[in-house]
């Protein structure tokens, strides 16, 4: 059982047309570092950079009964980090960045995947595709963090979620129900279950 976080920059094509390659690379490197830091701080594993997208797993490297809450806390930290980064970019006259994040939870296979010349530790299963599709819904619902129904059922009750209309997405027969994440519990105040078990 793994929780998958899929993040992508919104409007990156327009940004790449505006900036010189050396400046674009610096902006993207700053973005990747800040997002990776937020993921690692919440026990996630950054598996791939896909263009300007990020795929991260929670509960893949070792069992984590709090993986879903950790993933959403990471997403909230990413939201805060991108806002701080936009202040820095604005001081330099550079365009601000917008982020869309989709998160799902499900069963799959964790292990080495690839060719003889290159193997990568990866998670294989429907959950990765669902998280990627949910991320595309962030534009439709005008919400920067969306989670699936399966994931919402596992979350700490103190997360503030807003139900979104079900939408059809490519490759999935049934409409997907998602919830926008407005805010979460303080990192300094673990839930009763976590405080007793960690």
Query: In the prediction, which pLDDT does 192 show?
Result: 43
Contact 54, 12 (CB under 8 A): no
Q: Closest by alpha carbon to 128, among 27, 198, 78, 60?
A: 60
Q: What is the pLDDT of residue 187?
A: 47
pLDDT of residue 198: 43
Residue 85 CA to chain centroid, in angstroms? 17
Confidence at residue 184, expressed as pLDDT on a 0 to 100 scale: 79
What pLDDT score does 157 carry? 87
Q: Model-level pTM greater than 0.75?
A: yes
Q: What are 11-34's pLDDT values in tens digits?
A: 777 788 888 899 999 999 999 999
Residue for token pair 């490759």: 171
Structure tokens at 33: 């570092």
Q: What is the pLDDT of residue 180?
A: 96
Domains of the chain: 2-197 (3.30.70.1230)
In the prediction, which pLDDT does 54 show? 94
Please list the ranges in the chain whose pLDDT falls under 70.
Answer: 186-198
| 69-84 tens-digit pLDDT | 999 999 999 999 999 9
């Amino acid at each position: 059982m793994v929780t998958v976080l899929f993040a992508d920059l919104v409007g990156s094509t327009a940004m790449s047309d505006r900036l010189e390659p050396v400046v674009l690379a610096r902006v993207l490197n700053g973005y990747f570092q800040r997002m990776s830091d937020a993921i690692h701080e919440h026990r996630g594993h950054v598996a791939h950079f896909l263009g300007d997208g990020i795929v991260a797993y929670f509960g893949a490297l070792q069992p984590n009964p709090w993986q879903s809450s950790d993933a959403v806390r990471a997403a909230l930290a990413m939201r805060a980090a991108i806002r701080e980064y936009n202040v820095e970019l604005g001081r330099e006259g550079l365009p601000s960045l917008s982020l869309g994040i989709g998160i799902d939870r499900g069963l799959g296979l964790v292990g080495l995947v690839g060719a003889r010349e290159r193997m990568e530790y990866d998670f294989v299963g429907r959950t990765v595709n669902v998280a990627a599709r949910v991320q595309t819904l962030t534009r439709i619902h005008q919400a920067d963090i969306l989670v699936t129904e399966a994931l919402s059922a596992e979350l700490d009750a103190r997360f503030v979620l807003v139900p979104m209309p079900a939408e059809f997405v490519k490759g999935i027969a049934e409409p997907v129900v998602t919830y926008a994440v407005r805010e979460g519990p303080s990192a300094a105040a673990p839930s009763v279950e976590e405080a007793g078990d960690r």
